[in-house]
Structure formats: C-alpha cells, structure tokens
Amino acid sequence: MITHQVELESTGVGTSCNLTLRTFGPPSGRKALYIQAALHAAEVPGLLVLQHFLAMLAELEESDRLLHRVTVATWANPIGMAQHLMGHLTGRFDLGGTGNFDRNFCDVRSEIGATFGTAEQRIPSTTELKSWLSNAALKFDSSLDPVHVLKRQLLAIGFEHDAVLDLHCDKTAMMHIYSSWDYQERAAALAQCMGAPILILEDEAGGGTFDQAFRDAWRKIKSLGISRDPAIGFAAVVELRGQRDVSDELAVADAAGLVDFLRSEGIARTDTSVSAGPAPAIVALNAIEHVAAPSAGVIAWKAACGQHVTRGAVIAEIAACDSEVPGRRTPIHASASGTLIARAHISLVTPGQRVAMIGGNEALPDRQSGKLLHD
C-alpha cells in the first residue's frame, strides 16, 4: 500500500487542506479503480465503509489476491467537512458560494476534440490518454478558489484510473446506484454485489457531476475512435441508503460488497462471492419522479422506503399545526407508480420542498435529458 498526500489550496490563513490517497495492488496492474467518499461532505456512510474497505484491501494485497490497482480517497471534500453552520454540518452546498459540491466539474470534451479530432492524429495508448486527461483536468482553468482547485484535483485523480466509484447517500433511502446505459451490465453487477435493489441509468444526466465528467470524457474519446477499450470509462454513484444509516454492521457489509465488485471486475481474487441477491430493478433517470410538499407543516409518513406505491396513493400527510380544525391534514399523493426510493429526513417541510423520490417504469414528459438532476 502506498499513501500519497495531495495538498490543496488553503481556505484561509493558518489552514491547510489535503486529500489522502491510499493505493493498493501491483503497480504493473493493467486495470485501475478509484473510489472516494463524502464529496457531499455530510453524506458520511461512505467514510466508514472505506475504513473497513481499507482493511479488506490490505488483506487482499498481503495474500497476493489483488491483481490490479485500487486507489481510495478516504475523504473527498475536506473543505465541506469543515463547513458547520450553527452546529450543523451542511455539506451539500459550499458556504463560500460556489454551489453544489458535486456539480460543474470541468468538461474537457472540447479540449479532447481540439487535440485528438484530426484524422492524422497518432492514436495514443491508454496510459497516454489517462495522463493527458489528468493534465487537462488540472489545467482546465486558472481559478484559485479552493473548491475549484479541489474539483480539478479530484477529477485529475479519477482520470488516472480506468473506472471510478463515488460513494454518496440520500436523506432517508434504500440503497440505489446511478450509472449509465452504456455500462448497464457492469453497473448491474455492482448493484448486485452491493445488494442495491435499484439501479438508475442515464447517459446524459447533465449537471457536471464528478461521475458524469469522467464518463463524458471517455465517451467523447470513444466517439472519435481513439479508444475502443471497453474496460475504461465506467463510473457509478453508490447511494448508501440515508444519512443516518451509519453503523459498523452496515459498513462491513458494504465494504464486502465493494470487494465482491473487485472480484466481478477481475481486480481481486476472492474465495467467495457475496452477490447472491437478485438483480436490481432498472429505472431510467427520466422516470424518476420527485414529489413536492403541497403545504407547510409536519410530515407524517404513510409509506416506507422500498415500498411499491401506486399513482394517487397517499404516501404521507402534512399536519399544518395552525389549522382551525385540529387534526386536519393535507395528503401527499404519489404522482407516479413505482418504488419509493427516498424520503426527506427533516420532518418540518415547506411548500414545494422535494420530499420523496419515486422510481417508476415510464419516462415522464417533463423530464429532459441533460437536465435530469436537481441541485
């Protein structure tokens, strides 16, 4: 195992920030996987999962069962982890004003087109391409804003690898995974290894998330015929249930799921497979319905995450608390039939607040490719 510290731009006088990367496996390993956690800094389940995963990787390496390289960033967002507001770790949006920590990663597709788009261009090796992409991310712009520097650095590290996994979590949720249609089979294997019942797929989600920026670059390279290596360019986001689902029991099982994914990718040799569970249900991202609260009040849930709901069913009620008729409630109806994947975790809601996410079977007319992610 090799430990590497990446110094980041300081966020202020007397403050230093870094990423800690731990790389396992033989340097000559042809494949390489990168995993990070808590890019949304308050989504902490992945931080504990990676602690258990590191111990499992060390065991695999010691017993010569790690065939290729795996790099773990034990945390992805030290800037966000330090941003508490009135005693609360916010984590999703930068308090410094740059927005959502997992949006607007650099899009290097036009640089790829300008550099490799000519017919006389020599075809670079995969190693050369990875190095070029990593440099392109680092030099994408000259902003010294610490969050911009962090995003360039994370993507540059990702580009040094063939595939990336980004560990997040939802508010209150069942485990689910986001990836793309062009890697459906590998994404389904990941979901099965992790025991995730839902796999959400889309090629053009938009928003410039970390995984999308990585995937877009490789899709562009492949569209130009520069690389046809099917192993390269896979990216997925694992939503490790809800923010409160943090325990050693869950983390050990999830880390074992990641090791099983290494086995399915041919990165590690393991004695057993834990992926005995059923294949995930596949949901198109444009069939994901976000349900908004119709009024303010305290939300009382009538449906659990993982439950199938039918269109029009009451999934929750809102108690206004100031109603002239005590006990009068406003129902929240499911706006589509499907699986209730995620719910709000704060029980006092405001009108228009997104409080539930339902994965249905049909594309929804108001969902547009390239604009499929809410902030």
The residues binding Zn ion (CB under 5 A) are: 40, 43, 168
| Amino acid at position 228, single letter | R
At 328 the three-state DSSP class reads: coil
Closest CA to 342 of 173, 168, 169: 173
Toward Zn ion, which CB reaches closer, 156 or 373?
Answer: 373
DSSP H/E element including 114:
helix 109-116
Distances (CA, A) of 16 to 67, 99, 103, 179, 374: 35, 21, 24, 34, 32
Judged by beta carbon, residue 157 or residue 240, the one nearer Zn ion is 240
Minimum Å gap between C-beta 169 and Zn ion is: 7
Quote the CA–CA distance of 190 and 265 in Å, as a whole number: 9
User: Which is closer to Zn ion, CB of 198 or CB of 232?
Assistant: 198
Which two structure tokens, joined as six digits, stand for 77?
């967002």
Closer residue to Zn ion (CB): 43 or 162 = 43
Q: How far is the CB of 42 from Zn ion (least distance, A)?
A: 9
Least Cβ distance, residue 268 to Zn ion (angstroms): 27
Least separation in angstroms between residue 295's CB and Zn ion is: 27
Q: What residues contact 297, with CB distance under 8 A and at least 6 apart? A: 318, 319, 320, 321, 330, 348, 349
Q: How far is the CB of 309 from Zn ion (least distance, A)?
A: 24
Between 173 and 336, whose beta carbon lies closer to Zn ion?
Answer: 173
- For the bound state, the minimum distance from the C-beta of residue 102 to Zn ion, rounded and expressed in Å, comes to 6
Query: Looking at beta carbons only, is 69 or 168 nearer to Zn ion?
Result: 168
Three-state DSSP at 181 gives helix
Contacts with 100 (C-beta within 8 Å, 6 or more apart), sequence order: 92, 93, 94, 375
